[in-house]
Chains A and B, each alone.
Chain A
Amino acid sequence: MSAAILELAVDKFLFRFPPGLFYSEAGIWVRFEGLRARIGLSDFTQQRNGDVAFAEPKEEGTAVRLGDEVAVVETIKVNLSIPSPVDGKVVEVNGDLLAAPELVNQDPYGKGWLAVLEIEDDEAARGALKTAADYLALAKAQAEAEVRR
């Protein structure tokens, strides 16, 4: 990723959005690796929801449609049902999260990935997602609305 990471500062919080990724409205990032999609929680999503205590993706072999639950993430504050950002089949889950769920908070775009899904059509999948700039705009609106609440 050579392009500069997009950043959004709201109050004392700084949110990062790598430009090489795609993002769902629910705040799940996607890195396309050929016909595979690696997914995780965006920096905005993980900061909003607090320290992750348990991160449990669906097991390998599970087929999901766009919007189906692909993982459950339990934080100190809330239990999150994570909607899949793509149609696909889970082919790999991040085993490191069993012992170190805090990786989702500490390195959301790197070591904190949740799962890898095999997909059939990466162009169609991209079409249903937002670019970093578009997702940043959405996150900004959501963050400012929360701050004003």
Chain B
Amino acid sequence: MPNLPRKKVGLISCSGEELPEGTVTRRAVRKVLETLRPDDTVTLCLPLFLAGGEGERAFARYYPTISVDGCDKRCAALATEKYSSKPLASIVVTEIAKESGYGAIGTARRLDESGLRLADAVADKIAEETDRLLKRKPKDTTRRAGREGS
């Protein structure tokens, strides 16, 4: 069993070369890893996972994971479940995009401004799920007037 100095959440994103939503997943996951929740997350490499990467598969077996997929084919979620265990949260970018009214977001190779904003929105969602899985209070990034208590 992997030994962690503190509990972390594994983020596994689809590789999604064919769709801009796939590129959104990569950008969002890296943002969470590098900026939003650097102490609380690790990324699991899907290609390595599929090819038998023991570190990736062992981590996903014992620690909570969030799969982040570009479309409803849900490769990351399916692979995690198939080779380790079911992710505790599954995010699909096309669903978020639809709910939030995003239209065109650029190409798989280069996201446009709208695509970059969508990536930020997905990153926020991942961070929220990370907090939930780690049973942490959400990090307050907005000023809330008149708030009492902690």
Contacts and interface: CB of A to CB of B under 8 A. Distances in A.
Whether chain B is bound by chain A comes out as yes
A8 B55 CA distance: 12
Contacts of B145: none
Interface stretch (A10-18, A56-64, A99-107): A10-18
A37 to B, nearest CB: 30
A14 B2 CA distance: 8
B59 A12 contact: yes
Interface residues of B, number: 15
A9 B3 contact: yes
Contact of A144 (B5, B8, B10, B59): B5
A14 B55 CA distance: 6
B39 A11 contact: no
Contacts of A147: 5
A123 B2 CA distance: 36
Contacts of B56: 12
Interface in A39-66: none
A144 to B, nearest CB: 5
B51 interface: no
Interface in B31-64: 39, 42, 44, 54-56, 58-59
B55 to A, nearest CB: 4
Most buried by B among A8, A11, A13, A147: A11
Interface string A1-27: 000000011111110000000000000
Given A11-B42, A12-B42, A12-B44, A148 B5 contact: yes
Nearest to A145: B5
A148 B44 CA distance: 18
A113 to B, nearest CB: 23
Contacts of B10: 12
Contacts of A9: 1-3, 58
Nearest to B8: A11
Interface in B78-135: none
Closest 5 CB pairs of A and B: A12-B59, A9-B2, A12-B55, A9-B3, A144-B5
Interface of A: 8-14, 144, 147-148
